[in-house]
Structure 1
C-alpha cells in the first residue's frame, strides 16, 4: 500500500467512529518528520480510545502495526506513530489547547478526495 492509501484507511477508520474535524496535513512538505499528520477530535475520552483502537484495528488488517503509541493512559490525546503517518486523536479541550494546525501552519492541508 502507498502512504496515501494508508492515510485513506486511517481517515475512514476515524470517520467510522464519528471522529470530528478530521484534518490531514502534508508535514512532508515542510519537515522530514513524516509525510502526513492525521488529526481528529473526539467528544469524550471513551471516544478518543475507540477511534484510536479502530485505526489500529483497520491498519492491522493490512499488516501495518504502529511503531509507537502514546496517551492510552489519559485518553485525552492518543498518538499513533506509523512512521510516514502520525495519527493524533484529541478530546475537544486538548485539540484546542495544542492546536497542531497552528504549530504546523506552513504544512498544506490535504483533501481526502485527492488521496488514492
Structure 2
C-alpha cells in the first residue's frame, strides 16, 4: 500500500504537469479523521478543472491507485476526489474563493514540497 505522502507527491506532480494554479497541500491528519491531507488546486475553466481531475485519475490509476469517490457540481466549477487518506479539491477561481478551504482549515499545517516535481 502506498503512503499518503507519496500519493500527495504523485498527485501534485500531475497537477503541475497539467498547469494547475496555486496548488496547496494541507496536513489535516491531526485535526480530523476525514483524511491526512487536502490538496487544493485551481483550474482556469470548467474544461481545465475536468482535465486536471481526469489526468489525476488516469495517472494514479495506471499505478494501481484508484479514486474511492468523486463529487462535482454540474458546471465543473469544483471537483472533489477522495483517495481515502488524500482528498483532492480542484476549483475554478471563483469557487475556490467562495468555499475558502484554506480559511476553513486555517489550523492545518501547509506542506511545501521540495523541487522534486
TM category (shorter chain) comes to over 0.9
- Identify unmatched segments of 5+ residues in structure 1: none
SS state of the match for residue 33, structure 1?
A: coil
4+ long deviations beyond 4 Å: none
Q: How far apart are the structure 1 equivalents of 2:115 and 2:30?
A: 16
State the number of aligned residues: 115
- Residue 57 of structure 2 aligns with which residue? 56
Residue in 2 aligned with 1:98? 99
Classify the secondary structure of the residue corresponding to 2:106. Answer: coil
Structure 2, unpaired ranges of 5+: none
Q: Distance in 2 between matches of 1:25 and 1:57?
A: 23
Q: Residues 49 and 72 of structure 1 are in contact (CA less than 8 Å); yes or no, is this contact kept in structure 2?
A: no
Deviation at 1:114, TM superposition (A): 8.9
SS at structure 2 position matched to 1:15: helix
Query: Partner of 1:113 in structure 2?
Result: 114
Equivalence for 2:33: 32
RMSD: 1.5
TM-score, normalising length from structure 2? 0.93
Question: 1-side partners of 2:32 and 2:84: how far apart?
Answer: 13
1:67 lines up with 2:76 in the alignment: no
